[in-house]
Structure 1
Amino acid sequence: MSELVLCEPTELYNILNQATKLSRLTEPNYLCLLDVRSKREYDESHLITARRVKQKDKQYLIPESVDLECVRYCVVYDRNTKSLEIILQSSEDDEDSDRLVLGAAVEFGKILVHLTRYPIYILKGGYETFSAMYHFLRTQKIIWMPQELDAFEPYPVEIIPGQLYLGNFSQACNPKMHKDLKIQAHVNVSMEAGPFFENDADKLLHIRVEDSMDANLFPSFRHLCHFIDIHSELKSIILVFSKMGISRSSAAIIAYLIHRDQQTLKRSWNVVKRCKNNICPNQALVKQLLLWEKIVLGDTVTDISDLPH
């Protein structure tokens, strides 16, 4: 038996935007997103890939097409969950004769905990909060074909909510993603450059570093942190990116978190790892981060062998 866990909107956003070569939404046992609102609300708009949970005789029906025991992330949402408490309200004029439930996600989640070894995630704030923050991830599409999931383009992951994102070069050059996320400043940690950024030179920090074991980011750490601090004070939303968004850019963000929060390499690494599960700074960059930890904290605290891969 698993447990119920509240899931912050940013956490679900990052779950939806994980990728290897393709979006992880293409993996059948990666994510099951379940909507327990009324049919009318679901038909008007729901989160991408979400399935509506139906009712019969006031009892929730578990979707037959889902093998919950194998699903890594099962996320349930209703209209606006605030906590893991259940508060029931009924409405006679609801066109589906369904209950309008504050805490319906929790009620249904308690049924699912017996069916999986993983936690059942309850979306905090429900559909209302998530769709207000990430309107571009809502849809009216009910059936997703495999080729449509293959074509889905993940957004940069969100490291500091509403402030700092981590992505790749393709995402950095995507105008729709910039508009949706309101990106205003960039840190490019790669050799590549492009015309997309030419008109915003004061909002771009380009750290030219090869993707190799000879990569040396360490001399740029102070400048990098200063640049992000300045734009954070200006309330600018910042995207840090490299060619693939896995090694150099993730190392840059880890270095910034060590500086910003005066925290260890291990803790900063874990923060980024939770947001983007395939980060992989190379060994040279890890050693530079270890030296940066010593400079910021006054001592080496992290054992490299403890860093999750």
Structure 2
Amino acid sequence: MTGLVLCEPTELYNILNQVTKLPRLTEPNYLCLLDVRSRREYDESHVITALLVKKSAGKYLIPESVDLECVEYCVVYDNSTISLELMLKDKSSDDDSADDGKHRIVLGAAVECGRTLTHLTRHPILILRGGYEHFSAMYHFFRTQKSIWMPQELDAFQPYPIEIMPGRIYLGNFKQACDPKIQKDLKINAHVNISMETGPFFVGDADRLLHIQIEDSLEASITPFLRLLCHFIDIHLELNSVILVFSTLGISRSCAAILAYLMHRNGQTLKRSWAYLKKCKNNMRPNRALVAQLSEWEKVVLGDIVTDIQNPPY
């Protein structure tokens, strides 16, 4: 048995938005998202690509189309489970009668379902903390009534920027930075553009746009801009702004910028910052020259070079 692990809403958000050449949602063995709420609630709205788990004679019936042994991520959610432990449930939620206020001890529906799946998977079953209520409140744009997704529809899915700091810092590409719907949905009000291109938002507004014009090449130097970059993001976090950091593809230059900021903000090593960003964005890949500059930035932040960048995965 692989067990159960609580999954934060930001983690599911990032899972939904991973990309290789195509959105990873197009991969049949990438994500199995299971909704254990009632049919009525599911039909009203659910998270995109989620499958309804039916219950018969007290047992959860997993959709036949799912092969959990091959799935990389299996996420289960109910309405509002926040713990893997037993919880108190008001008996009045089971019927319409007024009662004496007594409670009974139960497992959350997602946990109960998840326990029946652990022997079928090679990876831990993820239980969404806060359930659908919390996730849909944070990411309303990922709610849908659609229950069947054709391959071509998943191919056409437009991923959102990756969330680095929940509700505050996002990491994306130039196309996402030019999309007005994404700016509105994520409430973006400041940009850090690390590319040669000029985006359509905040042009001429130095308070809300930091444009670091460096090429995507091994000759590019980001070091002279790192203090300004960190100061710009710090100021906007103090102002409760929502910041999008982006480059052309969102893989190298913008990732280097995020790594530098994580090292600065948390006073931590390049290695630790790298591991965190890799968990958020699977395909992050700063070029070797940028990695070398980040190693020198580690010395500025910590007083010494700690991370050995000669070893994988750098």
* Matching residue of 2:94: 91
Q: What is the aligned partner in structure 2 of residue 182 from structure 1? A: 187
Alignment partner of 1:278 out of 279, 283, 304: 283
Contact kept? 2:173, 2:249, Cα under 8 Å? yes
Q: Alpha-carbon deviations, 1:239-295, whole Å to 9, x = none? A: 000000000000000000111111000111111111001000000000000000001
Aligned to 1:68: 68
User: What are the residue-to-residue correspondences of 1:240-259 with 2, within 5 Å?
Assistant: 240-259=245-264
Q: 8 Å contact 1:269–1:307 — kept in the other structure?
A: no
Q: Tell me if 1:58 matches 2:61.
A: no
1:40 aligns with 2:40: yes
Helix, strand or coil: the match of 2:167? coil
Query: How far apart are 1:92 and its partner, in Å?
Result: 4.1
Instruction: Map 1:214-229; keep pairs closer than 5 Å.
Output: 214-229=219-234
Q: C-alpha distance in 2, partners of 1:59/1:195? A: 53
SS at match of 1:230: helix
Residue 207 of structure 2 corresponds to which residue in structure 1? Answer: 202
Amino acid at match of 2:26: T
Runs of 4+ with deviation above 2 angstroms: 86-93, 194-197, 199-202, 305-309
The alignment of Structure 1 onto Structure 2 pairs a total of residues equal to: 302
**In the alignment, structure 1 residue 262 sits paired with structure 2 residue 267:** yes
Match of 2:138 among 114, 133, 158: 133
Match of 1:10 in 2: 10
Distance 1:37 1:122 in 2: 13
Per-residue deviation, 1:86: 3.8
One-letter identity of the residue aligned with 2:67: D
User: Residues of 2 paired with 1:305 and 1:229: CA distance?
Assistant: 31
**Residue in structure 1 matched with residue 23 of structure 2 by the alignment:** 23
Structure 1 residue 171 displacement after superposition: 0.3
Describe how 1:91-130 pairs up with structure 2 within 5 A. 91-92=94-95, 103-130=108-135
Cα distance between partner residues in 2 of 1:145 and 1:201: 44
Taking every aligned residue pair, what percent have the same amino acid on both sides?
72
Deviations 1:148-183 (A, max 9, x none): 111110000000111110000000000000100000
TM-score, normalization: structure 1? 0.95
Question: What displacement does 1:306 show?
Answer: 4.7
Query: Deviation digits for residues 54-82 of structure 1, max 9, x if unmatched?
Result: 01112111211001000000000000011
Gaps of 5+ in 1: 94-100
Does the 8 A contact of 1:167 with 1:241 survive in 2? Answer: yes
Match of 1:98 in 2: none
**Amino acid across the alignment from 1:195:** P
2: distance between equivalents of 1:196 and 1:225? 21
Report the CA distance between 1:201 and its aligned residue: 3.7
State the secondary structure of the residue aligned to 1:277.
Answer: coil
Q: What residue ranges of structure 2 are gaps of 5+ in the alignment?
A: 97-105
Q: TM-score, normalised by structure 2?
A: 0.93
Contact persistence 1:32–1:75 (CA under 8 A): yes
